[in-house]
Amino acid sequence: MAVFSMRNNHRRRYVILFLSLACFIIYRHFRGPTVKMRINRSMGLRVNSSQFTLGGKPFRILGGSLHYFRLPRAYWKDRMVKMKACGLNTLTVDVPWSLHQPEKGELRFQGGLDIESYLHLAAEVGLWVILRPGPYIGSDLDLGGLPSWLLRDREMMLRTTYPGFIAAVNVYFDKLIPKVVPFQFKKGGPIIAVQVDNKYGSHARDGNYMSFVKEALQERGISEVLLTSDDREGLKYGGVQGVLRTLNLQKMNHDDIKYLETLQPNSPVLVMELWTGRSDGWGGLHHSLPAEDLLAVVRETLRRGMSINLYMFHGGTNFGFMNGALANPSYKALVTSYDYDAPLSEAGDYTQKYHLLRDLLSNFNSEILSEMPGLHWKEEYEATILFQHLSLWDALPYTHEPFKSQFPVNMENLPVNNGNGQAYGYTLYETTIIRGGSLKSGRNIQDRALVFLNQSFIGIFHHRNVELAVPDGKEKRTLSLLVENCGRVHYGKDMDNQRKGIVGNILLNHTPLRDFTIYSLDMTPDFIDSLYRAPWKSVPNKPSFPGFFQGRLFVNGYPSDTFMKLPGWSKGVVFINGQNIGRYWDAGPQQALFLPGPFLNSGMNQVIVFEEAEADFKIQFEDSPDLGMTVDI
């Protein structure tokens, strides 16, 4: 009996131990961030002399930027958990107006643009949030995240109190701000601060603009602390009364810090954008900031008691046509990868920067950092053969209804997309000529045009090549110009002049061309889907260009991330299951496109490539990135 009693006691202890362990695991899983349990929600982020306080207690912002629109929704939480495990406590969220309102009457907050779900996830992971709702966010996006339909107004003055601009901002904010107000700190949410526009000091055209944006946010219920963000040169003119100025930098410059402290004494210093790398442009090199250089700046910044936000913590990808462009010293469109040489790579992998930052930031966290999550598997799939071909000319019946005009019309003012014009992609302009001679663009091609005579290629217009020779002929011939918007400038004073397509007269022997038929080739998912009805043919020995090429990728089992390489191809766009993965170009530096597993299906996947000039008819899939030749910043 004694033995039986002892066994019962042991069983009882094991049951109690098991239940206790189970309860602890459930508690840890569902409790949310520890700080949510104890913090005083009546006292938000406050500026007290040399430090911030949150909930009445000293607080240092250790932030990182992570763009929900540059990665698949399925990876949102993975990237946030990796951010938390690195020792960061704050997620900076940029909100792209252009993606949320691609047309005046349509606002999108579903799927990969579901900002409410994104904010919920941040709270669940235990990250505070600095929200940057714009209206201008920059972020190396086409037109800085402003919608292109604003440019339909010939008098438009972006980022000013011009009536057309502020009316559009008001409509947008009426829809966006009510969605984020409940997520503010004092309402129990993760948002501790909100930024007013972005880097306005570099633009600074209207002394009333920043006050308008500030009031527009507050009138709609934003009550947390407000920030501005500027480089050293913009600090003086980018501020607004009652809003905390913050600084952007990459290398530590003590004079910049002193200048901010002079403009804004007795306030904590926040480096709002501590640049961890740089974006790349087509035709250039991949930029890399040595990990030791970044760590030296972060270490010194924290030693001085300042707060930081790493731009970017994780860059992601410019899927589709969302990339911006640089204006100075000359026009250069940004590549598809937005790896940015960030601590977390484009594919979400850990880098040397990540490990060094984690070691450093562990000293600034009161709790032991969580374990680093495992990485997603990368697959080297079997090469895809593109066995079907469709010429551009045979695809034209599946575009928008062609538009006839005596004069050339820029993309934004075309009568397509419910009166919102064309935002991205290509536009084909065709007219009839009866003689050859000198064809001059006069810089009225924005940004790049392939030129054809009776569908035969004769040359390219771009920013540095503005004249072509047209062969002589006596009969009527069709002159075609396929113009690509390679990306609108995203920063600086040139933004009002970012209309694309043909934006002025094209001269043949000093006479302006007239009487155009214009086709909008914005290459939306609907257009790509419609091509299944097109007369595809087996790839001939000498296919015509430009053209579409189609093949199949077979995925055995659960889809994994991979990288697409197109050696032997020239320039174009890749679509997987109708999803625009982005541009490729043999000009480099980027040599491989990141293809996330969530974009693939188990089994058969449709692959369509639009190629401008040359094709190898095969796509390779590799398990590692290739961002091209590298240069240190």
Domain of residue 87, CATH code: 3.20.20.80
Spatial contact of 317 and 346, defined as CB atoms under 8 Å apart: yes
The per-residue pLDDT for 35 is 39
Bin 547: left if φ > 0, else alpha if -120 < ψ < 50, else beta: beta
Model pLDDT, residue 49:
80
pTM for this prediction: 0.93
Tell me whether residue 47 is in a domain.
yes
The answer on 360 and 283 residing in a single domain is: yes
Is 90 exceeded by the pLDDT of residue 8? no
| Residue 616 lies inside a defined structural domain of this protein | yes
Does residue 475 form part of some domain?
yes
Contact 285, 630 (CB under 8 A): yes
Say yes or no to pLDDT of 169 above 90.
Answer: yes
If asked whether residues 286 and 233 sit together in one domain, one would say yes
Please give the DSSP secondary-structure letter assigned to residue 411.
G
Average pLDDT, the chain: 94
**Are residues 564 and 458 both part of a single domain?**
no
Q: 413-458 pLDDT, tens per residue?
A: 999 999 999 999 999 999 999 999 999 999 999 999 999 999 999 9
pLDDT tens-place string over residues 18-57? 555 554 444 444 333 333 447 999 999 999 888 999 999 9
Residues 568, 483: one domain?
A: no
Does 373 reside within a domain? no
End residue of a domain, out of 521, 548, 582: 521
Look at residue 7 and tell me whether its pLDDT is greater than 60: no
User: Total domain count for the chain?
Assistant: 3
Question: What is the average per-residue pLDDT within 350-376?
Answer: 96
Residue at 33 is within a domain: no
Confidence band of 492 (pLDDT split at 50, 70, 90): confident
**DSSP conformational letter for 293:** H
Q: Is residue 369 part of a domain?
A: no
DSSP annotation of 465 reads B
The model's confidence at residue 632, banded by pLDDT at 50, 70 and 90, is: very high
Q: Is residue 505 domain-shared with residue 562, that is, in the same domain?
A: no
The DSSP call for residue 248 is: E
- Show Cβ contacts of residue 633 under 8 Å, excluding neighbours closer than 6 positions: 250, 277, 278, 287, 288, 289, 293
Using left for φ > 0, alpha for ψ between -120 and 50, and beta otherwise, residue 324 falls in beta
Pick left, alpha or beta for residue 523 (phi over 0 → left; psi -120 to 50 → alpha; otherwise beta): left
Q: What is the pLDDT of residue 115?
A: 98
Whether residue 268 is contained in a domain is answered as yes
- What pLDDT score was predicted for residue 459? 98
Look at residue 50 in the predicted model and tell me its pLDDT.
84
pLDDT for residue 9: 46
Average pLDDT over residues 166-186: 98
pLDDT at 37: 44
Give yes or no for a contact between 125 and 77, defined as CB atoms under 8 angstroms apart. Answer: yes
Residues 453 and 473 in one domain: yes
- What does the pLDDT read at residue 186? 97
Q: What is the CATH number of the domain that holds 423?
A: 2.60.120.260
pLDDT of residue 14: 47
* pLDDT at residue 105, as a whole number: 87
Q: Could you tell me the end-to-end alpha-carbon distance of the chain, in angstroms, rounded to an integer?
A: 79
The answer to whether 630 and 606 are in contact (CB under 8 A) is no
**Quick one: tokens of 372?**
């680093």
pLDDT score recorded for residue 532 = 95
Query: Which residue in 629, 560, 550, 554 sits closest to 594, CA to CA?
Result: 560
Instruction: Evaluate whether residue 43 is within a structural domain.
Output: yes
Claim to verify: residue 517 and residue 545 sit in the same structural domain: no
Give the pLDDT of residue 33. 38
At 529-567, the pLDDT tens digits run 999 999 999 999 999 999 999 999 999 999 999 999 999
Helix/strand/coil (H/E/C) assignment for every residue in 106-169: ECCCCHHHCHHHHHHHHHHHCCEEEEECCCCCCCCEHHHHCCHHHHHCCCCCCCCCCHHHHHHH
The string of DSSP codes covering 154-217 is TT--TTS--HHHHHHHHHHHHHHHHHHGGGBGGGTSSEEEEE-SS-GGGT---TTHHHHHHHHH
Reported as a single tens digit per residue, the pLDDT across 605-615 is 999 999 999 99
* pLDDT tens column, 93-111: 999 999 999 999 899 999 9
Do 195 and 63 have their domain in common?
yes
Q: For residue 523, what pLDDT band results from cuts at 50, 70 and 90? A: very high
Angle at 341 between CA 338 and CA 343, to 5 degrees: 110
Name the percent of the chain lying above pLDDT 90: 90
Q: Give yes or no: residues 490 and 559 share one domain.
A: no
Question: Nearest-CA neighbor of 457 among 541, 377, 335, 542?
Answer: 542
Task: Look at 1 and 596; give whichever has higher pLDDT.
Answer: 596
Same domain for 582 and 464? no
pLDDT the model gives residue 474: 82
Give the domain-ending residue among 521, 536, 557.
Answer: 521
Residue at which a domain ends, from 489, 521, 553? 521
Give dist(CA 101, CA 449) in Å, integer.
28
Domain range for 55: 39-364
Cα 614 from Cα 631, distance rounded (Å): 29
Report the pLDDT value the prediction gives residue 473, as an integer from 0 to 100.
87
Share of the chain above pLDDT 70, in %: 94
Q: Are residues 461 and 530 in the same domain?
A: no
Q: Is 343 a residue whose pLDDT tops 80? A: yes
Q: What is the pLDDT of residue 366?
A: 86
Q: Is 467 found in the same domain as 508? A: yes
